[in-house]
Amino acid sequence: MYLIGVLPALIVFWIRRNIPESPRWEESNRRRRAARDLQRQGAVLKGEDAALVRFTLVDMFAEPAVRMRLFLTFVMSLSVTIGYWGVSSFVQAMSDRSQPPRPGCPALGGLAGLVQNIGALLGFFSFGFLADAFGRKPTTFVYYLMCLILTPIVYLWVQNIQLLLLGFAVYGFFIQGVFSWTPIWLPELFPTRMRATAAGFIFNAPR
């Protein structure tokens, strides 16, 4: 299983070799090289040229508008991370408590986890299509809102085990599918010169 888990990482070598960067990134990289050439020649850089040669982690915090967007998206990512791990850890215990195992019958915690993950896969897959159809911000808002609504429904109100399993499937669609905003909308919120670093910071720092 560990070896199988490593295999996707090997695809990185193929990606680096065969998938080109976007024209927008290529243009930004060309301007960065030009700015560095000017810097080496002793020129005093201003505006975007100065930003292009800054260390990217410093650059993210240098401009007030970018800094505020970085803070807000970090809080969004932090809330999803804490929220998801704070509630998903109880799926198995909640399911088993709803219907204790009987002789010859397996506990339902594993089944609940399975249906939640099936719902999650559908949530991940659907987010991009919904974001293209209705917009990034409305789709992200609906996913967040449904997480807020479904958490008390699933954990406090639903008692019937069949309804609980259905609830976990729908819950997984939103509570895990909501993470899809980070690769789809997040990179579009930052200038090209820093988008990968900003997205990586916001996704990983909460963890």
> Is the pLDDT assigned to residue 202 strictly greater than 60?
yes
pTM comes to 0.74
CA distance linking residue 151 with residue 171, whole number of Å? 8
- In this structure, what is the dihedral angle of CA atoms 161, 162, 165, 171, given to the nearest 10 degrees? -100
**pLDDT for position 39:** 81
CA distance linking residue 102 with residue 90, whole number of Å? 21
145 and 87, same structural domain?
yes
The residue among 85, 167, 176, 78 whose CA lies nearest residue 127 is: 176
Please report, for residues 51, 62, 69, 140, the alpha-carbon distance to residue 192 in angstroms, rounded to integers and kept in the order given: 12, 15, 14, 22
174 and 75, same structural domain?
yes
21 and 70, same structural domain?
no
32 and 134, same structural domain?
no
75 and 167, same structural domain?
yes
Please count the structural domains in the chain. Answer: 2
CATH code for position 125:
1.20.1250.20
Each residue of 128-182: pLDDT tens digit? Answer: 999 999 999 999 999 999 988 988 887 777 676 777 778 788 888 998 899 999 9
Residue 2 belongs to domain spanning: 1-53
**Cβ contacts of 178 within 8 Å, gap of 6 or more:** 80, 84, 123, 127, 140, 143, 144, 147
Please report, for residues 58, 101, 115, 196, the alpha-carbon distance to residue 129 in angstroms, rounded to integers and kept in the order given: 34, 40, 22, 22
Each residue of 84-138: pLDDT tens digit? Answer: 887 776 666 665 555 555 544 556 667 777 888 899 999 999 999 999 999 999 9
**In the predicted model, what is the mean pLDDT of residues 21-37?**
85
